Amino acid sequence: MRFLSKSAMALMVMLLALALAVPALAAGEPAFKRYPQTVDAPFVKDVVDGKVVGYIYDARPYQKKYLKGHIPGAVNLPATQFDKNLGKLPKDKSALVIFYCGGLKCALSHKAAFKSQALGYNNIVVYDEGYPQWKKLHGPGVVGPDPVAKAAPAFKTFPVIVEAPAVKEVLDGKTVGLVVDARPKMKKYDKGHVPGALSMPDSSFDKMKGLLPADKNALIIFYCEGLKCSLSHKSAFKAQALGYTNVKVFAKGYPNWKKVYGAGVAAAAVPAAAKKAKGGLKAGKEEGSVDFAFFQETLVKKPGSMYVVDVRDSGEFKASSIKGSVNIPVDQLEKNLDKLPQDKPVVFVCGTGARSGEAYYMIKDKRPAMTSVYYIDGEITFNPDGSCKISPPK
């Protein structure tokens, strides 16, 4: 009977251990570095539905995977093309960023997450079950390019965000603080606002900053017209620059407040809409507004018959805008009134109807002789091809 040498015996033991280990490895974690923070499908659904503010990125290849089906609102950012597409990421590095790809065996979302972390993003998660699970739970999602993909916001978002219950605690006296409405007073605040909120339009911030608390440690919560509205974020940064240390933004704003707690307070009666609009335009429901369908039809058939002024910030305008429109941010409008034409109707536009309405009432106040001035009282989605989609204000 032959006996194995000690070295041969050691080799056999090592080979046996490896043989036993292979099945375990196959059944366990994939052989790539996994990002530690992960989320499940219900969390992603809350982001898709707008209940949680965040940005969803599909790390899979565009042609091969994304176009064949993806999560609604997801922006395609292939991990293999990551460095070439950094502009698709949010400017705010504290924003919630979700990556997903082809499921538990797919490394692309994890790679993209680590790359984002190296760039300084600090609120990154991976939906590691990815598109296969989403498709099983919610269907194929969007097939082809997503026309409403949630790209990074074109304005700088304030890093400290709160939800409606935090605002209500201030109003109920459970938390000491000040709630500030950064929307235009006549156009928005007077028609309805969070009870107890101070009207302090962002365009009048410098004139009204004396109304802010003397205590620079006091809690101040700004809000405006929702996630597409930059006014509350701009005011929050201004307050922070003044030395206030406990500033927050209720980013979902008044539309969310109405949805959760009701319409709030209407500060004053609003005059009935004019039934006729001068300059050949069809009037909308509100004073000074233009009918949505008429406006869009005119953009196509007679684009030169209106002077369309986009009163959003320059970064928002550059990201996407109506073809042929000009950009005069609302906080620069007063000193540029001489640039507005007298020979054709002027129509102000923005993302939510807040700033465009403010521009309209500014003209009524500063240039009452200008009668062919209007605005779009609705939410506008600006498409990359220069067209737009308009829906009623929330």
Residue 121 and residue 47 share a domain = yes
Residue 175 and residue 94 share a domain = no
CB burial of 161-180 (b: ≥16 within 10 Å; e: otherwise) equals bbebebbbebbeeeeebbbb
Q: Tell which residue, 295, 296, 294, 289, has the closest CA to residue 387.
A: 296
- pLDDT tens string 227-245: 888 899 999 999 999 999 9
Task: Measure the CA–CA gap between 378 and 290, rounded to whole angstroms.
Answer: 10
Geometric angle at alpha carbon 195, from 190 and 200, rounded to 5°: 55
Residue 8 has pLDDT above 60, yes or no: no
**How is 298-346 classified by DSSP, letter by letter?**
HHHH-GGGSEEEE-S-HHHHHHS--TT-EE--HHHHGGGGGGS-SSS-E
Residue 71 and residue 109 share a domain = yes
Residue 172 and residue 253 share a domain = yes
Asked if 326 and 309 count as a contact pair (C-beta separation under 8 A), the reply is yes
The predicted pLDDT at position 294 comes to 87
The residue range of the domain holding 92 is 41-138
The predicted pLDDT at position 178 comes to 94
Residue 384 and residue 310 share a domain = yes
Task: Measure the CA–CA gap between 149 and 383, rounded to whole angstroms.
Answer: 11
Task: Measure the CA–CA gap between 236 and 358, rounded to whole angstroms.
Answer: 19
In a domain, 317, yes or no: yes
- pLDDT tens string 35-72: 999 999 999 998 888 788 889 999 998 888 888 889 99
Residue 134 and residue 62 share a domain = yes
Alpha helices in 228-302 (DSSP H): 231-241, 253-261, 292-301
In a domain, 328, yes or no: yes
Residue 342 and residue 254 share a domain = no
Which of residues 261, 277, 310 is at a domain's end? Answer: 261
In a domain, 276, yes or no: no
Residue 238 and residue 305 share a domain = no
Joined tokens for residue 157: 């978002």
Asked if 124 and 35 count as a contact pair (C-beta separation under 8 A), the reply is yes
In a domain, 36, yes or no: no
In a domain, 113, yes or no: yes
Residue 177 and residue 127 share a domain = no
In a domain, 301, yes or no: yes
DSSP 8-state symbol, 184: -
Which residue shows structure tokens 């699970």?
A: 133
- pLDDT tens string 30-42: 578 999 999 999 9
Joined tokens for residue 265: 């307070």
Give the CATH number, domain containing residue 367: 3.40.250.10
- pLDDT tens string 133-167: 999 998 888 887 776 565 556 678 888 888 999 99
Longest CA–CA separation in the chain, Å: 115
Residue type, 272: A
In a domain, 82, yes or no: yes
Q: How many domains is the chain built from?
A: 3
More confident residue, 2 or 346: 346
Bridge partners (DSSP) listed for residue 375: 289, 348
Which of residues 261, 280, 300 is at a domain's end? Answer: 261
How many helices and strands in the chain, by DSSP H and E?
Answer: 12, 14
Average pLDDT over residues 295-324: 90
**Range picked from 89-98, 123-132, 256-265 for highest mean pLDDT:** 123-132
Average pLDDT over residues 324-350: 91
Q: Tell which residue, 91, 103, 106, 90, has the closest CA to residue 47.
A: 90
Joined tokens for residue 302: 């007679």
In a domain, 11, yes or no: no
